[in-house]
Amino acid sequence: MTDHSSREPECESCPLAGRREFLRDAFFGLLAVRFGGALARRGAELTYPLPATDGATIDKDNQLILARSEEKVYAFNLSCPHQNTALRWYPEDSQFQCPKHHSRYRSDGVFISGRATRSMDRLGIRRDGANVIVDVNKFYREDQNPAEWAAAVVTL
Q: Are residues 17 and 94 in the same domain?
A: no
Whether 63 and 27 map to the same domain: the answer is no
- The secondary structure of 40-83 as a DSSP string is GGTT-EEEEEPPSSSEEEEETTTTEEEEEETTEEEEEESB-TTT
Question: Could you tell me which of 94, 97, 89, 91 has the C-alpha nearest to residue 114?
Answer: 97
Distances (CA, A) of 94 to 66, 81, 114, 118, 142: 13, 19, 17, 18, 20
Number of domains in the chain: 2
Predicted local confidence at residue 50, as pLDDT: 97
Residue 123 is part of which domain span? 45-155
Same domain, 146 and 74: yes
Q: Tell me what pLDDT residue 27 has.
A: 53
> Does some domain include residue 119?
yes
pLDDT at 2: 36
118 and 79, same structural domain? yes
pLDDT confidence of residue 85: 95
> Is 102 a domain residue?
yes
Does 36 share its domain with 49?
Answer: no
Per-residue confidence in pLDDT tens, the chain, 156 aa = 433 333 344 444 445 445 555 555 555 444 444 443 333 344 689 999 999 999 999 999 999 999 999 999 999 999 999 999 999 999 999 999 999 999 999 999 999 999 999 999 999 999 999 999 999 999 999 999 999 999 999 999
Model pLDDT, residue 26: 54
The confidence score (pLDDT) of residue 4 equals: 36
Q: Is residue 4 included in any domain, yes or no?
A: no
